């Protein structure tokens, strides 16, 4: 992998990740951009103890532009975009409309491919491996920024999720705090250790592998399963079989196998509802240990993938119980979801 760092016209950082070492990235951003002005701030809820990001500048962000005006495509044929090069493998840049900025963190955009009409599932194993390298490098770099506590690499796909740009891309949030979801995991981890002396992540993974009913894919170095208490109709958790706290801890064998396992998983997601259905909307995100957590070595890196579609043509809405009280109601038994995902193995 070759990494090239440059700047956009307004001073934001842009990074190219290339599979070839001889690629030269010297294209200049020729857009007349004003300096980025953000108003992101963090406010703590005194009742719940969680944090809300207030970012009013995001009201003006790009919203469903036509394909020939996509800001994530390469700059070519006289059209200038966020990426000055005429082509690229993987590109990462600071978000022009960040939810987190300055002392409140940092947000980046990750473009998986220059092909506007592709999806992550369409990438080759080599391309997916390069994205994994980019995620890992950004986790390492962002961990060095003052105040950054946790890095979250994720992808939203589909208008049903709220995606406003159709180009295949994801995001990276560098939070200056430990997120509420991770706090709950760390609490459960500590309680399990005190009660049993074991590691909660290891024991859950071992139980799922022994039970087998909710296993979707089992590789030499990775296991994908539908959790026993899945919140979403189709939800899969992907774990390396050897526990590591973050992407930097993956060994070469796990890194080598990941693209095959993850691409197969995404292809199966696209087949859940039948060949005639639009591609399945989903959210996929890496859960990594906070950098200063006392027991970060006990935390297990994993990826969580789920869709908001519950059946053909119908979405799972977070209504009263889910939105009001955080009590999920799942219409699809996890065992049935796992069986369906096993049945739709890609051809």
- Got the DSSP string for 102-155? GGG-EEEEEE--S-TT--GGGS-HHHHHHHHHHHHHHHHHHTTSTT--EEEEEE
Q: Please, are residues 198 and 309 in contact by the beta-carbon 8 Å criterion?
A: no
Residue with tokens 């690229």: 88
How many residues does the structure list for the chain?
347
Alpha helices in the chain (DSSP H): 125-142, 180-196, 200-211, 252-269, 325, 334-343
Q: Please, are residues 270 and 122 in contact by the beta-carbon 8 Å criterion?
A: no
DSSP 242: S
Residue 83 pLDDT exceeds 80: yes
Tell me the C-alpha distance between 242 and 72, whole Å.
36
Tell me the C-alpha distance between 58 and 252, whole Å.
39
DSSP 288: -
Residue 22 pLDDT exceeds 70: yes
Q: List pLDDT tens digits, range 113-139.
A: 999 999 999 999 999 999 999 999 999
What is the percent of the chain where pLDDT is above 70? 97
pLDDT, position 138: 98
Q: Which two tokens stand for residue 268?
A: 């199966």
Three-state DSSP at 239 gives strand
pLDDT, position 55: 86
Q: Which residues are catalytic?
A: 169
pLDDT, position 103: 86
DSSP 289: -
Helical packing angle, 125-142 and 252-269, nearest 10° = 120
pLDDT band at 76 (very low <50, low <70, confident <90, very high): very high
pLDDT, position 68: 85
Residue 347 pLDDT exceeds 90: no
- Count other C-beta atoms under 10 Å from residue 25's C-beta: 19
- Got the DSSP string for 150-183? EEEEEEEESGGGT----SSEEEEEEESS--HHHH
pLDDT band at 152 (very low <50, low <70, confident <90, very high): very high
Tell me the C-alpha distance between 311 and 156, whole Å.
19
Q: Which two tokens stand for residue 56?
A: 């009013």
Residue with tokens 């406010």: 43
Residue with tokens 């491919």: 113
Three-state DSSP at 241 gives coil
**Bigger pLDDT: 148 vs 36:** 148
Q: Is 289 exposed, middle or buried (0-12, 13-18, 19+ CB in 10 A)?
A: buried
Q: List pLDDT tens digits, range 258-281.
A: 999 999 999 999 999 987 778 999
Q: List pLDDT tens digits, range 177-227.
A: 999 999 999 999 999 999 999 999 999 999 999 999 999 999 999 999 999
pLDDT band at 61 (very low <50, low <70, confident <90, very high): low
């Amino acid at each position: 992998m070759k990494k090239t760092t440059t700047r956009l016209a307004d001073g934001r950082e842009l990074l190219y990740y290339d599979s070839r070492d001889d690629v030269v990235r010297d294209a200049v951003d020729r857009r007349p951009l004003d300096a980025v002005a953000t108003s992101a701030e963090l406010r703590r809820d005194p009742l719940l103890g969680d944090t809300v990001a207030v970012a009013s500048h995001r009201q003006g962000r790009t919203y469903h532009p036509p394909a020939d005006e996509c800001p994530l495509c390469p700059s070519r044929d006289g059209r200038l975009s966020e990426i000055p090069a005429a082509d690229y493998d993987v590109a990462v840049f600071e978000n022009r409309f960040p939810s987190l900025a300055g002392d409140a963190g940092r947000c980046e955009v990750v473009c998986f491919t220059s092909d506007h009409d592709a999806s992550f599932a369409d990438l080759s194993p080599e391309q997916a491996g390069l994205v994994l390298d980019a995620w890992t490098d950004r986790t390492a770099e962002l961990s060095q920024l003052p105040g950054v506590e946790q890095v979250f690499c994720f992808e939203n796909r589909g208008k049903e999720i709220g995606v406003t740009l159709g180009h295949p891309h994801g995001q990276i949030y560098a939070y200056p705090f430990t997120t509420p979801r991770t706090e709950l995991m760390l609490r459960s981890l500590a309680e399990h250790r005190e009660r049993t002396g074991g590691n909660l992540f290891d024991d859950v993974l071992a139980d799922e592998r022994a039970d087998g009913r909710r296993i979707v894919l089992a590789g030499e170095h990775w296991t994908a399963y539908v959790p026993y208490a899945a919140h979403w109709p189709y939800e899969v958790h992907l774990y390396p079989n050897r526990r590591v706290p973050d992407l930097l801890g993956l060994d070469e064998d796990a890194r080598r196998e990941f693209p095959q396992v993850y691409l197969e998983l995404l292809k199966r997601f696209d087949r859940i509802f039948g060949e005639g259905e639009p591609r399945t909307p989903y959210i996929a995100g890496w859960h990594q240990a906070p950098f200063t957590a006392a027991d970060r070595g006990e935390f297990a890196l994993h990826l969580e993938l789920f869709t908001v579609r519950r059946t053909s043509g119908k979405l799972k809405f977070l209504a009263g119980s889910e939105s009001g009280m955080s009590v999920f109601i799942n219409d699809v038994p996890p065992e049935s979801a796992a069986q369906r995902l096993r049945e739709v193995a890609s051809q």
